[in-house]
Amino acid sequence: MTLFEKIIAREIPADIVHEDELSLVFRDINPQAPIHLLIIPKKPIPRIGEAGSEDQSLLGHLLLVAGKVADQLGINSTDKGFRLIINNGANGGEAVPHLHIHLLADRPLNWPPG
């Protein structure tokens, strides 16, 4: 069982900001911005590169949840804004092998990223 499956199962505590039948959103334990959330599917897909065509609507759902949570946090505007990131594999910086979308907000973010 991965760390994030344990969070879904409430075996490890997390600061959860949204839950529905398909997804969970919680605050990152080591935030890289004043708002740093992780949006995860409850289905244990290891990484985006291993998602299949059967996951199409689930992946779309995760992006819509990102927008919904951004609405709730008051950052879904062009003057504020946010960034979504998916790290995949070693060079991508992936540490936890359970698909997650980072949502970073509440400070200006550099481009290109490091």
Q: How near is the Cβ of 110 to ligand 5GP at its closest, in Å?
A: 17
100 annotated active-site: yes
Among 23, 24, 25, 26, binds ligand 5GP (CB under 6 A): 26
d(CA 85, CA 72): 19
d(CA 14, CA 26): 6
Q: How near is the Cβ of 27 to ligand 5GP at its closest, in Å?
A: 6
Q: Compare residues 26 and 82 and give the one whose CB is closer to ligand 5GP.
A: 26
Reported for 73-78, long-range contacts at CB under 8 A and 24+ positions apart, including other chains, are 73/17, 73/35, 73/105, 75/35, 75/105, 75/106
User: Is cis: bond before 46, omega within 30 of 0?
Assistant: no
d(CA 45, CA 40): 9
Site track for ligand 5GP across 66-95, x = CB under 6 A: ---------------------x-----xxx
Per rule CB under 6 A, count of chain residues that contact ligand 5GP: 14
Residues forming contacts to ligand 5GP in the complex (CB under 6 A) are 3, 12, 14, 26-30, 38, 87, 93-96
Indicate which residues carry an active-site annotation. 100
